[in-house]
Chain A
Amino acid sequence: MNRLNLKKWQKILPFNLLVWIILALYLLPIISMVFTAMMSTEQLMDPRSPLYPARQLTFNYQGKDYPLYNVPTGSGIRPMALFQPGAKSSLFIDPQNPGAAPIRWVGGWRSLQGLYEFHISWDNFTVMAKNLPLADMLRNSLLILFLAEIGVLASSIVTAYGFARFKLPGGDLIFYILIATILIPDKVTTIPTYFVYVNLLHWRGTIYPILLPWFFGSAMYIFLLRQNFRSIPIDLEEAAMLDGAGPLQRLFYVILPQSWPVVITVSVLHFFYMWNETRTASLYLSSANPALMPISIGVQVYESRVPIQNIIEASSMVILAIPVLLLFISQRYFMQGIVVTGTEK
């Protein structure tokens, strides 16, 4: 039994090790971001500091703190406090014998390796929280998200049901048009719609141009929902119809209760999309009405103004946290895979 187990592990472990290494490399920039966000600016400027958030150890000598370095001496490498840095030689204090006179060490102190301890600095987050109206921007984002979700789910579900189960004039042509609209680049429609929103409806500085399109459904989600609705056996619907249920009743009482995974997948996909949405928000909101800016564009504007890497990374972490959390909560539905059986009907 034991040997069997061992054999099994011998087969499994090398493969999983490979996957873990690939994953670590793949996520390296995220790890780098998390560490940088918790670094002090001093550490960021110090090229010999460790990769993890840290601060240099110091030694208190006569009421003042001096940084510790590993100094090669006659009796091996010893940690010493830099008392008086100089260009050619520097004065050091031996922490084990602070009563003695400072020791002169010849050589450039900048070539010495410092001593560091793990230390998290939360300053970047407090600086950002002080400069950014995070609560307001979060409220804007959630309002936009909530309305857009309602709009896109209601219209896409109803439309997908129409495509999945009903005969349409023109046969499959309408469905092909639906697929084709996914492929049309925004560039072509942006100019006339911008003109209508801004010059005719005077919607510049409002959230309406961001929301309105979603109330007409989204071709991509309609496609995903339709594929799923079609995989549900039709018998139950026929039974419901014999009992006198109309199309909308069948959708709500027969189809939807069996389609929660795909509905959740679509709403989570849309959450990610809207949370990240900066294109229309920057076009209609950012300069016209900064008070209504959602958090994604607000943080982006802020980041372009603050050229300090660790504060930028801290603000990145703030907008990253919510989608990542949602991803882990919804993984059960999400990771079943979005099943697309080709582009045939």
Chain B
Amino acid sequence: MQKSKKNARQYFGEWRHWGLLLISPWLAGFFLLKFFPILASLALSLTNFYLLEPQKTEFVGLQYYIQFLHDPDMYTVLNRTIMLALAIIPVQLVSSVCIAALLSNRRLLAKNTMRTLFFLPSVIPSAAFIFMWQGFFNPASGWLNRLFLNPLGLAGLNHLSGRGAGNSLFILTSLWTIGPGMLILMGSMQGIAPELYEAAQVDGAGRFRRFFSITLPLITPAIFFTLILNLTAVFGGAVMMDRGYNFDSNLSSYDSYIYFYLFRVFKLGAATSLAWIFLIFTMAIVITLFITSKYWVYYPDPEKRA
């Protein structure tokens, strides 16, 4: 307790702006690469800036926003992005919790090697990743058909492979990006005091009861963090080791819609309004998550824990 308070913030009796100086690299980057560009894209989105005739730029107010809110294409691409997130995030979250639980188990042999092997798919570069899965899904020579679907007589299911949009088999590939989340969850599981499990065992709680009543509630902060991480990865933020889903424009249709306005039509005003609509949408989700988090995320109370 004493320590944590001391740890909190200290002047050290030195020049009081040392902190500001130390964080200045990031602070400068924040203004140059985040704050001003965001403001610039907001300003740009209120004009009809057209790359081929920049001299004709005029202030048009919310015209593009109103146009896109009535644009069925915008809803199609937004809907596709949301559907992708809704399909991928629960799959990633549940599987990373399960694998983290398996890898934290006391009975696991060769712990470090097993953990490394489960982490391995997360370091595969996107260039290898996408073609590897295409090879795996290939209807003729792919192992998915030859090992699983042909013997079961389900090969017909696999016409879902290939490069079509809304590709449901590609949701499987999202299982290969759970590494960082898995590590965070594992770290959190190791932080749980063993006495808790022993006490529960004495009281007659079974393995599953112990998992659902002790492990799961205590790792909710890590689950929350992983959820945010996965969400930003799907929506194209900058996260740890993110491979992004941008390598396939079919999977990131909102991006390709922005790039269409940017690199094909050269209407920067329209492209930036699309980006801003997405920003508002993402922030609304994140803020909602943060607000609801106090109902399901367990925060140890530092005052009581001493």
A191:B141 contact, CB within 8 angstroms: no
A241 to B190, CA, bound (A): 35
Q: Is residue B80 contacting chain A, with contact meaning CB distance below 8 A?
A: no
Q: Is residue B50 contacting chain A, with contact meaning CB distance below 8 A?
A: no
**Nearest-Cβ distance from residue A147 to partner chain B, whole angstroms:** 15
Residues of A close to B22: CB separation below 8 A: 158-159, 161-162, 166, 247
A340 to B103, CA, bound (A): 18
Please encode chain A, from 143 to 175, with 1 for each CB lying within 8 Å of some chain B CB and 0 for all others. Answer: 000000000001110110111011111000010
A154 to B241, CA, bound (A): 19
A341:B127 contact, CB within 8 angstroms: no
A234:B236 contact, CB within 8 angstroms: no
Given contacts A192-B44, A222-B26, A343-B224, contact A335 B115 (CB under 8 A): yes
Q: Is residue A91 contacting chain B, with contact meaning CB distance below 8 A?
A: no
B33:A193 contact, CB within 8 angstroms: yes
Given contacts A182-B237, A324-B120, contact A191 B41 (CB under 8 A): yes
Q: Closest residue to B228 on the A side, CB-wise? A: A183
Q: Is residue B87 contacting chain A, with contact meaning CB distance below 8 A?
A: no
Q: Is residue B305 contacting chain A, with contact meaning CB distance below 8 A?
A: no
Please encode chain B, from 63 to 76, with 1 for each CB lying within 8 Å of some chain A CB and 0 for all others. Answer: 00000000000000
Among residues 199 to 233 in chain A, which have CB atoms less than 8 Å away from a CB atom of chain B?
A: 213, 215-220, 222, 230, 233
Please encode chain B, from 218 to 232, with 1 for each CB lying within 8 Å of some chain A CB and 0 for all others. Answer: 000110110010001
Given contacts A162-B23, A185-B237, contact A323 B124 (CB under 8 A): yes
Please encode chain B, from 244 to 258, with 1 for each CB lying within 8 Å of some chain A CB and 0 for all others. Answer: 101100000011001
**Nearest-Cβ distance from residue A157 to partner chain B, whole angstroms:** 10
Residues of B close to A187: CB separation below 8 A: 236, 254-255, 258, 274-275, 278-279
A218:B238 contact, CB within 8 angstroms: yes
Residues of A close to B18: CB separation below 8 A: 162, 166, 247
A276:B243 contact, CB within 8 angstroms: yes
**Nearest-Cβ distance from residue A193 to partner chain B, whole angstroms:** 5
A278:B126 contact, CB within 8 angstroms: yes
Please encode chain A, from 17 to 37, with 1 for each CB lying within 8 Å of some chain B CB and 0 for all others. Answer: 011001100111110110010
A16 to B225, CA, bound (A): 29
- The count of residues in chain A whose C-beta lies closer than 8 Å to any C-beta of chain B is 102
A241:B12 contact, CB within 8 angstroms: yes
B125:A185 contact, CB within 8 angstroms: no
Given contacts A167-B9, A167-B16, A327-B116, contact A155 B25 (CB under 8 A): yes
Q: Is residue B286 contacting chain A, with contact meaning CB distance below 8 A?
A: yes
Q: Is residue A291 contacting chain B, with contact meaning CB distance below 8 A?
A: no
Q: Closest residue to B282 on the A side, CB-wise? A: A185
Q: Is residue B165 contacting chain A, with contact meaning CB distance below 8 A?
A: no
A215:B143 contact, CB within 8 angstroms: no
Given contacts A218-B238, A324-B120, contact A338 B183 (CB under 8 A): yes
A217:B26 contact, CB within 8 angstroms: yes
Q: Is residue A189 contacting chain B, with contact meaning CB distance below 8 A?
A: yes
Please encode chain B, from 190 to 221, with 1 for each CB lying within 8 Å of some chain A CB and 0 for all others. Answer: 11000000000000000000000000000001
Given contacts A27-B117, A183-B286, contact A193 B28 (CB under 8 A): no
- The count of residues in chain B whose C-beta lies closer than 8 Å to any C-beta of chain A is 112
Q: Closest residue to A43 on the B side, CB-wise? A: B141
Q: Is residue A47 contacting chain B, with contact meaning CB distance below 8 A?
A: yes
A27 to B140, CA, bound (A): 20
B102:A22 contact, CB within 8 angstroms: yes
**Nearest-Cβ distance from residue A188 to partner chain B, whole angstroms:** 5
Q: Interface centre among A12, A273, A312, A337, by most B CB within 10 Å?
A: A337
A337:B187 contact, CB within 8 angstroms: yes
A323 to B10, CA, bound (A): 40
**Nearest-Cβ distance from residue A11 to partner chain B, whole angstroms:** 7
Q: Is residue A80 contacting chain B, with contact meaning CB distance below 8 A?
A: no
B237:A188 contact, CB within 8 angstroms: no
B26:A216 contact, CB within 8 angstroms: yes
Contact of B14 among A27, A195, A247 (CB under 8 A): A247
**Nearest-Cβ distance from residue B244 to partner chain A, whole angstroms:** 6
Given contacts A16-B109, A278-B247, A299-B127, contact A189 B34 (CB under 8 A): yes
Q: Closest residue to A32 on the B side, CB-wise? A: B143
**Nearest-Cβ distance from residue A194 to partner chain B, whole angstroms:** 8
**Nearest-Cβ distance from residue A134 to partner chain B, whole angstroms:** 13
Q: Closest residue to B40 on the A side, CB-wise? A: A192
B297:A342 contact, CB within 8 angstroms: yes
A36:B135 contact, CB within 8 angstroms: yes
A299 to B129, CA, bound (A): 12
Residues of B close to A315: CB separation below 8 A: 127
Residues of A close to B275: CB separation below 8 A: 185, 187-188, 190-191
A342:B224 contact, CB within 8 angstroms: yes
Residues of B close to A22: CB separation below 8 A: 99, 102
B132:A30 contact, CB within 8 angstroms: yes
A121 to B232, CA, bound (A): 42
**Nearest-Cβ distance from residue B268 to partner chain A, whole angstroms:** 6
Given contacts A185-B235, A234-B3, A338-B180, 13 further A-B contacts (CB under 8 A): A12-B109, A16-B107, A27-B121, A32-B136, A166-B10, A187-B254, A192-B40, A234-B10, A269-B241, A319-B127, A331-B112, A342-B225, A343-B224
Instruction: Show 26 residue pairs from A and B whose CB-CB distance is below 8 angstroms, ordered by the A residue.
Output: A22-B102, A23-B114, A30-B121, A33-B132, A36-B135, A158-B25, A159-B22, A159-B23, A162-B21, A166-B22, A167-B10, A178-B26, A178-B30, A182-B239, A185-B232, A189-B41, A191-B275, A192-B44, A222-B26, A269-B180, A272-B241, A276-B123, A309-B131, A309-B134, A332-B112, A337-B183
Residues of chain B having any CB pair with chain A under 8 Å: 3, 6-7, 9-12, 14, 16, 18-23, 25-30, 32-34, 36-38, 40-41, 44, 99, 102-103, 105, 107-109, 111-128, 131-136, 138, 140-143, 146-147, 175, 180, 183-184, 186-188, 190-191, 221-222, 224-225, 228, 232, 235-244, 246-247, 254-255, 258, 262, 268, 271-272, 274-276, 278-279, 282-283, 286, 297, 299
